[in-house]
Structure 1
Amino acid sequence: MASSQLVLQSVEFAHPGMTEPLFSELTVQFPHGWTGIVGPNGAGKTTLLKVATGLEGFATQAGSVQRSGLALYVAQRTDDPPEMLEDFVWAPDATALKSRLRVGEDWPERWSSLSHGERKRAQIAVALWREPAVLALDEPTNHIDTDARQLLERVLADFTGIGLLVSHDRRLLDSLCSQCLLLDPPAAELRPGGVSEALAEQTKEETAARSANDALRQTERRLKAEAQRRRVVADQKAAAMRGSNQKHKINPMHDHDGRARRGLARVTGKDAYAGRMVSQMNQRAGKVATERAQLTVKKRYETGIWVDGASFMPRDFLLRLPAGTLPMGFGEDVRHLHFPELAIGGTSRIALTGPNGFGKSTLVRHVLQQVQVPPEKLVTVPQEVSAEASQALLAEVKRLPNDERGRVMTTISRLGSRPGRLLESALPSPGEVRKLLLALGIVRGPHLIVMDEPTNHMDLPSILCLEEALAECPCALLLVSHDEAFLEGITTTHWHIDAAGGSDGSDTVLTVAQA
């Protein structure tokens, strides 16, 4: 492993067309080991990885990036095979990595038929084989099943260079990371510990700052109100005294010059005293306002959505599918998925689980071909959306009528993203693309939502928002996921695919169970 160094000094970066930079005066020195990069979708996590590893088109507008040794970035998307994949599969020194991550030697030739989980393992295996000094991983556990995830975690734990890890996988971040960089543009803060420790400490500090701010605001209001009250009382008394003195002075039968002078002195003294008290109150209020201004109280956006307009179909079933068999694979590698009679009701909540390569995506494609739902009432969110399709989707949203675009952006906001920053971006992040697809469908009142790996590319707060939204959705759901905790809070029917019992292990079978 080559000697490594990675230091960002006063870095500023903005994408073309952005009115504000993603990062400003960002200074951080990354130590050896893994650092988690944590923040909401659109906060610039992927951009930071690209800036740190020196990808073309990601030069900073200000500041500098000091790095030494080979720096590699492993992208979220798995559209194309990684550079040097073929060299890797035939390299004598790659045998151990191929075994540990279960990479097949025929994968370069059949990349298009690999599952996204297999592609992700290939990406990471090639990167580790090249022995980088700096390795930046963008959502490495996307698409990976439980067994493969455990393999990956063990391999990454052995990496001795400088590692930057963007992930929604809380367990992975806690297991691997000794510190986390929390992004909240344009600010960023490096905190010790895994993501659970870092976020808990951040939440504790934010709660304390918010409580202190509320207390100071109330104190400031009381001081200003008291200053105003004293000013009014003093003015009323002074006016009354002056009126009394003036009445005595115009009485020709009595000479009250001495009394008037004494009264005027008393009034003048009281005026001065009242003025000093009002001034003191205002000064104290000003000090409290200054103290408040020194607090950092982050704005919190409303989260949680109600899928307004969504409804179940006015009949019992969206799908009734007789038992059957589906082919999987190509050529001599054809296997079969056997499934029983399947049904999707108007308010069904179905989880589809199983190892990678066992036919989940094959079954979903078949279901979508057979389901009886009007196209505008069907929401589908695939595992991956290409960069070109992502740009086209964002352009479509920008062309929507103002009222519909506003509803979409409100939904995006309540799923944890900043609508303004999203509309300014040239290419939305994969997490934002998933939110856009879901939001577009939600505002049109879906009857069925089908999501393949719904938590992939999502940040942790967004996952909680999504879980709440789907749990309350008054329509049917079919969710394909390895995230058991996410599924447990939403679904009531379990479709699980496993190896067919009694066969040679090549065929798979689907079973159905109720929660």
Structure 2
Amino acid sequence: MGHSTIVFDAITFSYPALCSPVFDHLSATVPEGWTGVVGGNGTGKTTLLKLATGTLAVDSGHVMAPEHAVYCRQDTDRMPDDLEDMLVSGDKAAGRLVSELEIGYDWPYRWESLSHGERKRAQVGTALWKQPRLLAVDEPTNHLDARARGLLFNALKAFDGIGLLVSHDRELLDSLCDRCLFMDPPVVRMRPGSYSQGREQSELEEQSAEKERETSGRALKKLRQEAARRRDRASRAHARRSKRGVDAKDHDTKAKIDLCRVSGKDGADGRALKRLAGRIRQAHETHRNTRVVKRYDTGIWLPENRSKRDLLFHVPGGTMALSPDKGLSFPDLGMGPSGRVGVTGDNGTGKSSLIRYVLARTQLPEERVFFLPQETDPDQALRIVQKVRSLPEEELGRIMTLVRRLGSPPASLMDTRQPSPGELRKLAIAMGIVKHPHFIVMDEPTNHLDLPSVTCLEEALATCSCALLVVSHDHRFLERIAMTRWHLTPVEGEDGDVALGVSGFS
């Protein structure tokens, strides 16, 4: 049976290792065209894509979606099962995708040597070749240089089915999506238009909700104060109606009390108090139901740490092998205790290989170097989580404070056996910072991070005192944090060889 929409009907889903459900009676409808799925790290974006494509099954409720669905994973460790079939198929669709995404026919035989960006192009190309009615793509622009991002955008733009896109790439969301599903559990809300338009509307709604809650809070406080005054007056009225303590022969006083009891004059405050109680209950319900999104104070810091060494590393000029038939030539490379280098270049030019080559020649103690790799495999992720959980309470507290200030609730992070890639990224950054490093080396550090976290990291690195060596395709990010640029470019006339040039950032 075909479907032209995805319908999530009161779905509930939990991972076995979690104490609370990821989704609890969530309902939403997704039409044809591209829909962005946006939200902070750990809000269930990837889980929603897997439920939509049948990769995961709901605990309760129903998902109605096209049967022919493909989920394009966030990681690129595994080669797509159908990559070889696509390359040898000889059909027009395969030829067009191979050409548009510049996929190499030898890639299946050297998958391990491909850059993550090349793997991502192969992954997306294979998914499109299957011609699904529902395509769910998870963070497709991670690892991609500007040129490859353009190739990917054109390929995704041509897809005419139901598209779900998880991305922290604002430009891609704005250019590709007709609507965005904003995820902020327990609330999920579809907003028409681009991500930027939806974000603006979301901020206006949050501001309105905050004002409404403040107003209802003041009204509730005023009613409670009035109730306290009425209770005091009713208590005094009750005392006046009592004959206790009145002299048995004081007939005038007794007569006045009897008159008050008959007329009910002194009971008016008591009756008014009962009416006021109803208004207080109503005001309390209004205040309680006015939902204001809880936002964590964000912003991290790096402690003042600078090595006393004059030189952190020195690599004499030469050539390093990238593959049996491909080399990277470079001039003399060195860095002092406050050096700040950004590494740029197209996918496949050897940026990750270069920084690992440099790391192996660094003259600092291991504990003074913080290296953030481009990706973390599942086994490494599990070891990181287990290590954090075994830390002394004081050190664990420092790490969790940094995670919170990167925008993720520490409790939910510690509640799961396998954090999302974005949460794991934040955890790794926090663990590196508490080491008080003298040298920070990062390979595509903004991959998987939500947008507020990227800003936090950028600001922290821009003001830190230690040395930096950072690979990134985000040119604006590098301009903020680096002073020197190592740019890798293919050598003209040489088949596959690459050269490193040194310059400043403009």
Report if TM-score (shorter chain) is over 0.5: yes
TM-score (norm 1): 0.89
Q: Matched residues in 2 for 1:468 and 1:233: separation? A: 58
Structure 2 residue aligned with 1:257, among 251, 257, 273? 251
Matched residue count: 502
Instruction: Give the whole-Å Cα distance in 2 for the aligned partners of 1:121 and 1:494.
Output: 26
Q: Paired residue for 2:334?
A: 342
Question: Residue 197 of structure 1 aligns with which residue?
Answer: 197
User: In structure 2, what residue type is equivalent to 1:33?
Assistant: G
**Quick one: which amino acid aligns to residue 493 of structure 1?**
T
- Match for residue 324 of structure 1? 317
What amino acid sits opposite 1:402 in the alignment?
Answer: E
Letter aligned with residue 328 of structure 2: H
Q: Give the Cα–Cα distance (whole angstroms) in 1 for the partners of residues 224 and 462 of structure 2.
A: 47
Secondary structure of the residue that 1:365 maps to in structure 2? helix
Structure 1 partner of 2:89: 91
- More off after superposition, 490-499 vs 398-407: 490-499
Contact 2:298 2:404 (8 Å CA) reproduced: yes
Alignment match, 1:32: 32
1:131 positional shift? 0.9
What is the distance in 2 between the residues matched to 1:277 and 1:175?
A: 60
> Which residue does 2:229 correspond to in 1?
229
Name which of structure 1's ranges 379-388 and 228-237 shifts more when overlaid on structure 2: 228-237
Task: Give 2:406's match in structure 1, choosing from 387, 402, 415.
Answer: 415
Structure 2 partner of 1:495:
486
Amino acid at match of 2:252: G
Q: Is the 8 A contact 1:209 1:296 kept in 2?
A: yes
Q: Is the 8 A contact 1:141 1:149 kept in 2?
A: yes
**1:148 CA drift (Å):** 0.7
Given that 1:311 and 1:447 are in contact with CA atoms closer than 8 Å, whether structure 2 keeps it comes out as no
Partner secondary structure for residue 19 of structure 1: coil
2:71 corresponds to which of 59, 70, 73 = 73
Over 3 Å counting, the alpha-carbon distance change for 1:505 and 1:441 in structure 2 is closer
Aligned twin of 1:44: 44
Contact 1:380 1:437 in 2 (8 A): no
Q: Is the 8 A contact 1:340 1:511 kept in 2?
A: no
- Any conservation in 2 of the 1:328–1:362 contact (CA below 8 Å)? no
**1:69 Cα deviation after fit:** 3.9
**Corresponding residue number in structure 1 for 2:177:** 177
1:436 is paired with a residue whose SS is: helix
CA distance in 1, matches of 2:374, 2:72: 17
Shift of the 475–282 alpha-carbon distance from structure 1 to 2, 3 Å rule, reads farther
In 2, distance between residues paired with 1:277 and 1:66? Answer: 54
TM-score, structure 2 normalization: 0.91
Candidates 366, 376, 399, aligned match of 1:375: 366
Partner of 2:218: 218
Contact 1:449 1:475 survives alignment (8 Å)? yes
DSSP 3-state at the match of 1:60: coil
Asked if 1:283 is matched to 2:278, the reply is yes
Partners of 2:85 and 2:217 lie apart in 1 by 64
Structure 2 Cα separation of the partners of residues 126 and 208 of structure 1: 45
Is the contact between residue 305 and residue 436 of structure 2 (CA under 8 Å) also seen in structure 1?
A: no
d(CA) in 1 for partners of 2:50 and 2:505?
45
Q: Cα distance 1:363–1:27, how it changes in 2: closer, same or farther (>3 A)?
A: same
Aligned-partner Cα distance in 1 for 2:7–2:269:
59
For the 8 Å contact 1:352–1:478, the answer to whether it is kept is: yes
Residue 436 of structure 2 corresponds to which residue in structure 1? 445
Q: Do structure 1's residue 112 and structure 2's residue 112 form an aligned pair?
A: yes
Residues 312, 476 of structure 1: 8 Å contact kept: no
Partners of 1:234 and 1:317 in 2: CA distance: 81
Q: Cα offset for 1:233?
A: 5.2
The answer to whether residue 456 in structure 2 is matched with residue 465 in structure 1 is yes
Residues 143-194 of structure 1: per-residue CA shift (max 9 Å, x gap): 0000110111111100001111111101101111111112223432222122
- Please give the alpha-carbon distance, in whole angstroms, between the structure 2 residues aligned to 1:443 and 1:169: 29
What amino acid is the match of 2:314?
A: L
CA 1:3/1:198 → structure 2, altered by over 3 Å: closer, same or farther?
A: same
The C-alpha deviation readout for 1:475-505, integer Å capped at 9, x for no partner, is 3322211112323333333333334578777
Counterpart for residue 23 of structure 1:
23
- Whole-angstrom CA distance in 2 between matches of 1:158 and 1:127: 13
What letter is aligned with 2:377? S
Shift, 1:260, TM fit = 5.4
Q: Which residue of structure 1 aligns with residue 159 of structure 2? A: 159
Q: Quote how far apart the aligned CAs of 1:116 are.
A: 0.7
Equivalent pairs: percent with the same residue?
44
Instruction: Please identify, of 89-98 and 493-502, the stretch whose mean Cα deviation from structure 2 is larger.
Output: 493-502
Say if 1:169 and 1:334 are closer, same or farther in 2 by CA, change over 3 A.
same
Residues 40, 462 of structure 1: 8 Å contact kept: no
Contact 2:439 2:466 in 1 (8 A): yes
**Could you give the per-residue CA deviations for residues 402-459 of structure 1, whole angstroms, max 9, x where no partner exists?**
2222222222122112222222323222212211111112222222222111111112
Equivalent position SS for 2:108: coil
Is contact 1:178–1:194 with CA below 8 Å preserved after alignment? yes
Deviates more, 1:320-329 or 1:184-193: 320-329
Separation (CA, whole Å) in 2 of partners of 1:382 and 1:283: 60
8 Å CA contact 1:23–1:187 kept in 2: the answer is no
Q: In structure 1, what is the equivalent of residue 382 of structure 2?
A: 391
The one-letter code matched in structure 2 to 1:17 is A
Give 3-state SS (helix, strand or coil) of 1:144's partner. coil
| Contact 1:68 1:133 (C-alpha < 8 Å) held by counterparts | yes
Whether the 8 Å CA contact 2:315–2:358 is kept in 1: the answer is: no
- Any idea what SS the aligned residue of 1:27 has? strand
Which amino acid in structure 2 is aligned with residue 481 of structure 1?
S
Could you tell which deviates more after superposition, 445-454 or 126-135? Answer: 445-454
Q: 2:123: which partner in 1?
A: 123
Gap runs ≥5 in structure 1: none
* Alignment check: 8 A CA contact 2:337 2:438 kept: no
Stretch of structure 1 that moved more, 441-450 or 150-159: 441-450
CA deviation after TM superposition for structure 1 residue 373, in Å: 2.7
Gap regions ≥5 residues in structure 2: none
